Structure 1
Amino acid sequence: MCGIVGLFDMRGKNEIDRQQLGRMNQTQLHRGPDEGEIYTEPGVGLGHRRLSIMDVSTGQQPLFNEDASVVVVFNGEIYNFRELKEELLLLGHRFRTHSDTEVIVHAWEEWGEHCVDYFRGMFAFGLWDRNQEILFLARDRLGIKPLYYAVLENGLFIFSSELKALLAHSDFDRTMDPYAIEDYFAYGYIPEPRTVFKQALKLSPAHTLKVKCGQVLLKPHQYWDVPFVLHDSMAVEEVQEELTIRLREAVNLHLMTEVPLGAFLSGGVDSSAVVAMMSGLMKEPVNTCSISFGDPAFNESRYAQMVADRYHTRHHMEQVEQDDFDLIDKLASIYDEPFADSSAIPTYRVCKLARERVTVVLSGDGGDENLAGYRRYRWHLYEEHLRSLLSSGIRKPLFGLLGNIYPKADWAPRAFRAKATFEALARDSVEGYFHSVSITGDKMRQRLFTNSFKHSLQGYQAIMVLRDYANKCPTQDPLSRVQYLDMKTYLVGDILTKVDRASMAHALEVRVPLLDHKLVEWISGLPPALKLNGGEGKYIFKKALEPYLPNDILYRDKMGFSVPLASWFRGALSQRVRKAILGPVLTETGIFNMIFLEEMLDQHQSGRRDYSALLWALLMFESFLRNVLYGDNMLDYGKGFGVA
Structure 2
Amino acid sequence: MCGVVGLFDLNGQTHFDESVVQAMNESQFHRGPDAGGVHLEQGVAFGHRRLAIIDLSGGAQPLFNEDHSVVVTYNGEIYNFEALSQELKDKGHIFRTHSDTEVIVHAWEEWGESCVNRFRGMFVFAIWDRNQQTLFIARDRLGIKPLFYGVLHDGNVAFSSELKALKTLVNLPREIEPTAIEDYFTFGYIPEPKTIYQGVYKLRPGHTLTFKVGQPLPEQKEYWDIPFAPVQDISEDEAQQRLLALLSEAVDLRMIAEVPLGAFLSGGVDSSAVVAMMSKLQDKPVNTCAIGFDVKQFDETHYADKVAELFKTNHYKDVVDSDTFTLVDTLATLYDEPYADSSAIPTYKVCELARKRVTVALSGDGGDENFAGYRRYKWHMNEEALRQKIPLSIRKPVFGLLGRLYPKADWAPRVFRAKTTFQSLARSSVEAYLHTVSLLNDEQRDELFSDKLKDWLGDYKSIQVFDEYVKKSPTQDPLSLIQYLDMKTYLVGDILTKVDRASMAHALEVRVPLLDHKFIEWASSLPADMKLKRQEGKYILKKSLEPVLPHDVLYRDKMGFGVPLAKWFRGPLKEKVEASLLGDTIRHSGLFNMAYIERVLSQHQSGMRDHSVVIWTLLMFNAFLMNEMATAH
The TM-score, its normalising length taken from structure 2, stands at 0.99
SS in 1 for 2:589: coil
Q: Does 1:64 align with 2:64?
A: yes
SS in 2 for 1:4: strand
Distance 1:273 1:339 in 2: 29
Residue 410 of structure 2 corresponds to which residue in structure 1? Answer: 410
Per-residue deviation, 1:294: 1.2
1:210-221 → structure 2 map (5 Å cutoff): 210-221=210-221
1:496-536 alpha-carbon deviations (Å, 9 max, x no partner): 00000000000000000000000000000100100000000
Conserved 8 A contact 1:361-1:508:
yes
Residue 584 of structure 2 corresponds to which residue in structure 1? Answer: 584
Distance 1:269 1:385 in 2: 28
Residue 630 of structure 2 corresponds to which residue in structure 1? Answer: 631
Distance 1:595 1:107 in 2: 59
Distance 1:422 1:414 in 2: 13
1:203-602 → structure 2 map (5 Å cutoff): 203-602=203-602
1:92-171 → structure 2 map (5 Å cutoff): 92-171=92-171
Letter in 2 for 1:436: T
Per-residue deviation, 1:336: 0.5
Per-residue deviation, 1:562: 1.2
Distance 1:440 1:298 in 2: 23
Letter in 2 for 1:383: E
Per-residue deviation, 1:12: 3.1
Per-residue deviation, 1:540: 0.5
1:197-242 alpha-carbon deviations (Å, 9 max, x no partner): 1121000000000011233333421000000013442221111011
Per-residue deviation, 1:425: 0.4
Distance 1:124 1:417 in 2: 43
- Structure 2 gap ranges (5+): none
Conserved 8 A contact 2:352-2:506:
yes
Calculate percent identity across the aligned residue pairs: 61
1:195-206 → structure 2 map (5 Å cutoff): 195-206=195-206
Distance 1:191 1:404 in 2: 29
SS in 1 for 2:480: helix
Per-residue deviation, 1:633: 5.5
Per-residue deviation, 1:155: 1.4
SS in 1 for 2:169: coil
Per-residue deviation, 1:256: 0.7
Distance 1:313 1:119 in 2: 32
Conserved 8 A contact 1:250-1:516:
yes
1:111-145 alpha-carbon deviations (Å, 9 max, x no partner): 11000000000000111000000000000000000
SS in 1 for 2:171: coil
1:78-93 → structure 2 map (5 Å cutoff): 78-93=78-93
Per-residue deviation, 1:10: 1.1
Per-residue deviation, 1:570: 0.8
Per-residue deviation, 1:413: 1.1
Residue 173 of structure 2 corresponds to which residue in structure 1? Answer: 173
Letter in 1 for 2:87: E
Distance 1:211 1:308 in 2: 49
Letter in 2 for 1:374: Y
Regions of 4+ moved over 3 Å: none
SS in 2 for 1:94: coil
Per-residue deviation, 1:90: 1.0
SS in 2 for 1:316: strand
Distance 2:75 2:277 in 1: 26
SS in 2 for 1:588: helix
Distance of aligned partners of 1:213 and 1:633 in 2 relative to their CA distance in 1, 3 Å threshold:
closer
Distance 1:535 1:541 in 2: 14
SS in 1 for 2:340: coil
SS in 1 for 2:173: coil
Per-residue deviation, 1:395: 1.0
1:359-412 alpha-carbon deviations (Å, 9 max, x no partner): 000000000000100000001111111111111111111111111111111111
Letter in 2 for 1:267: G
Per-residue deviation, 1:306: 0.2
Distance 2:232 2:33 in 1: 48
Q: RMSD between aligned alpha carbons?
A: 0.9
Distance 1:586 1:216 in 2: 39
Residue 53 of structure 2 corresponds to which residue in structure 1? Answer: 53
Distance 1:406 1:232 in 2: 43
SS in 1 for 2:183: helix
Letter in 2 for 1:620: M
Residue 641 of structure 1 corresponds to which residue in structure 2? Answer: none
Conserved 8 A contact 1:230-1:527:
no
Per-residue deviation, 1:632: 5.3
Distance 1:547 1:416 in 2: 35
Letter in 2 for 1:376: R
Distance 1:232 1:528 in 2: 10
Distance 2:213 2:73 in 1: 20
Distance 1:256 1:156 in 2: 38
Per-residue deviation, 1:92: 1.1
Letter in 2 for 1:578: E
In the comparison of the two structures, how many residue pairs are matched?
633
* Bigger shift: residues 229-238 or 514-523: 229-238
* Bigger shift: residues 271-280 or 84-93: 84-93
Conserved 8 A contact 2:232-2:527:
no
Q: Does 1:37 align with 2:37?
A: yes
Conserved 8 A contact 1:2-1:32:
yes
1:536-567 alpha-carbon deviations (Å, 9 max, x no partner): 00000000001110001000000000100111
Letter in 2 for 1:155: G
Distance 2:232 2:368 in 1: 24
Distance 1:63 1:136 in 2: 15
The TM-score, its normalising length taken from structure 1, stands at 0.97
1:134-173 alpha-carbon deviations (Å, 9 max, x no partner): 0000000000000000111211100000000000112112
Distance 1:11 1:219 in 2: 16
Conserved 8 A contact 1:262-1:358:
yes
Distance 2:575 2:491 in 1: 33
Distance of aligned partners of 1:556 and 1:24 in 2 relative to their CA distance in 1, 3 Å threshold:
same
Conserved 8 A contact 1:586-1:622:
yes
Conserved 8 A contact 2:211-2:219:
no
SS in 1 for 2:334: helix
Distance 1:448 1:164 in 2: 28
Per-residue deviation, 1:3: 0.3
Residue 610 of structure 2 corresponds to which residue in structure 1? Answer: 610
Conserved 8 A contact 1:58-1:97:
yes
Distance 2:167 2:223 in 1: 29
Letter in 1 for 2:296: P
Conserved 8 A contact 1:11-1:155:
no
Conserved 8 A contact 1:150-1:159:
yes
SS in 2 for 1:521: helix
